[in-house]
Structure 1
Amino acid sequence: MPVTPVTTVHAEVASRPATSTLREKMIPALCAAGLGAVLLFGAGFASMEALHNAAHDSRHSAGFPCH
């Protein structure tokens, strides 16, 4: 039975692509969506007129109707 050198085994393991699970992909996506929603609705419903107008103008420039 041939003996495989240790360096060859490590090279094969290092060259395999890393697989990610659905959970590893969904957590950052949900965090980004949550942050986006907080920023959009937080600025949209803010009582400060300048912040509300900035959000209003950016929504219109993105083609998102807000009224």
Structure 2
Amino acid sequence: MTTLSLSTLTETRNLRQVLSAVSAMVLGGLLILTVGFAPLDTVHNTSHDTRHSANFPCH
């Protein structure tokens, strides 16, 4: 029978939180780069309008 201590459970939870945060940052960065440098004007303009509608300054 395996016994997990409280510190082991806390470390596992913290590791999952860090991995989730890093994954979200990488995915967000890839999305921004993909849309920002998209050759299709429609994709770029759609993201541009979305930033303005969210009151997020972009230029």
Taking structure 1 as the reference length, the TM-score comes to 0.60
CA RMSD of aligned residues (A): 2.0
Partner of 2:47: 55
1:40/1:55 contact within 8 Å kept: no
Structure (1/2) with the larger helix percentage: 2
Partner of 1:27: 19
Identity %: 40
* Whole-angstrom distance in 2 between the partners of 1:37 and 1:62: 18
- What are the ranges of 5 or more consecutive residues in structure 1 without an aligned counterpart? 1-12, 14-18
Paired positions, count: 51
Partner of 2:6: none
- What are the ranges of 5 or more consecutive residues in structure 2 without an aligned counterpart? 4-8
User: 4+ residue runs of structure 1 moved beyond 4 angstroms?
Assistant: none
